[in-house]
């Protein structure tokens, strides 16, 4: 820019010297005015250039600030993505765990429902057999002297004792029912109702989820009353108790014994279903 000013000044000086020799005073004055105008224009241009440079510098500063702001925003976005990803991952894990818990609860409920179904079925069979036994005892008291050589009062007392225990059993008061059934067996070991009482003790322990005790009591049915029609049911429930304890091998052995020894019994069909379930 300084070179341009020098060149303009030289030209003006040369022009002034040349004009002073060639033109009249009026022309010189006109040229001087034009020279002053040109100088004013040049100064204005310089001012405009300076202003433009300042504006450009400000623009560059603003652009740099915008770039810094964008970088900061990008960093916050990346942090937010990471946090959201972590939250989603944690939420997904929690959701998976909740689903697994629900599935476990559902499986447990289904298992309990199956056990209750078997218990209800067993109780229905017991009730039917009990009614049959009571009817037979009332119609044929002379059929088996080993069971009926008691006096009439003692027989009535035995029935009342059994009915008391049975009512507790039906009310699901299993703990007290166990005690009543044991008392009945001590007083009436040869009663027609003894096998049912022994079986009911096993069922009470099963309902209380005392499966190890239930196994022992069901085995007493087979050991003490081998000719009773309660043996097949005792084997079925004993196998179920082993299964509840996770002892699948023992469960299969007991159920297989039931199928082989009592193939025509209703319990045999149910035992086959349980065997299939244990194999899967």
* Backbone phi, psi, residue 246, to 5°: 85, 10
Question: Domain spans of the chain?
Answer: 1-103, 140-279
User: At 32, phi and psi to the nearest 5?
Assistant: -65, -40
pTM over 0.85: no
Q: What is the mean pLDDT of the chain?
A: 76
* Residue % of the chain over a pLDDT of 70: 57
CA distances from 67 to 54, 56, 60, 71, 80 (A): 20, 16, 10, 6, 20
In this predicted structure, the answer to whether residue 232 has a pLDDT above a threshold of 50 is yes
pLDDT at 54: 66
Render pLDDT for 163-173 as a digit per residue (tens, 0 to 9).
999 999 999 99
**pLDDT category of residue 249 using cuts at 50, 70 and 90:** very high
Contacts of residue 261, Cβ cutoff 8 Å, sequence gap at least 6: 232, 235
Higher pLDDT, 123 or 267: 267
| Listed ranges 16-20, 52-56, 65-69, 225-229; the one with the highest mean pLDDT | 225-229
The tens digit of pLDDT for each residue in 92-122 reads 566 677 667 767 766 666 666 666 666 566 6
Q: d(Cα 193, Cα 189) in Å, to the nearest integer?
A: 9
Residue where the block lists tokens 């300084």: 2
Q: Are 200 and 166 in contact (CB under 8 A)?
A: yes
pLDDT at 154: 46
Candidate from 120-129, 131-140, 249-258 with smallest mean pLDDT: 131-140
Instruction: Dump pLDDT digits (tens) for 151-200.
Output: 344 478 899 999 999 999 999 999 999 999 999 999 999 999 999 999 99
Distance between CA 41 and CA 98 in Å, rounded?
83
**CATH 3.90.380.10 describes domain 140-279:** no
**In the structure, what pLDDT confidence band is assigned to residue 134 with cuts at 50, 70 and 90?**
low
What is each CA distance from 200 to 123, 181, 214, 235, in whole angstroms?
9, 8, 10, 13
**Beta carbons of 221 and 230 less than 8 angstroms apart:** yes
């Amino acid at each position: 820019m300084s070179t341009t000013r020098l060149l303009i000044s030289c030209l003006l000086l040369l022009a002034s010297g040349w004009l002073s020799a060639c033109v009249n005073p009026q022309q010189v004055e006109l040229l001087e005015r034009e020279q002053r105008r040109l100088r004013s224009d040049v100064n204005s241009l310089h001012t405009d250039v300076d202003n433009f440079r300042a504006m450009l510098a400000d623009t560059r500063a603003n652009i740099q600030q915008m770039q810094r702001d964008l970088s900061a925003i990008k960093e916050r976005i990346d942090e937010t993505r990471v946090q959201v990803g972590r939250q989603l991952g944690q939420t997904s894990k929690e959701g998976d765990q909740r689903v697994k818990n629900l599935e476990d609860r559902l499986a447990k409920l289904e298992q309990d429902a199956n056990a209750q179904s078997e218990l209800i079925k067993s109780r229905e069979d017991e009730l039917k057999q009990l009614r049959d036994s009571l009817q037979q005892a009332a119609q044929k008291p002379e059929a088996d002297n080993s069971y009926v050589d008691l006096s009439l009062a003692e027989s009535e007392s035995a029935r009342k004792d059994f009915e008391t225990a049975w009512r507790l059993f039906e009310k699901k008061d299993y703990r007290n029912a166990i005690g009543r059934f044991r008392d009945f067996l001590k007083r009436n070991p040869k009663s027609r109702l003894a096998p049912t009482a022994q079986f009911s003790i096993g069922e009470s322990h099963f309902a209380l989820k005392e499966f190890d005790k239930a196994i022992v009591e069901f085995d007493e049915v087979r050991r003490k009353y081998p000719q009773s029609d309660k043996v097949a049911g005792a084997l079925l429930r004993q196998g179920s108790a082993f299964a509840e304890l996770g002892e699948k091998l023992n469960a299969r052995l007991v159920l297989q014994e039931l199928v082989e020894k009592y193939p025509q019994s209703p319990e045999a069909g149910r035992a086959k279903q349980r065997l299939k379930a244990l194999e899967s």
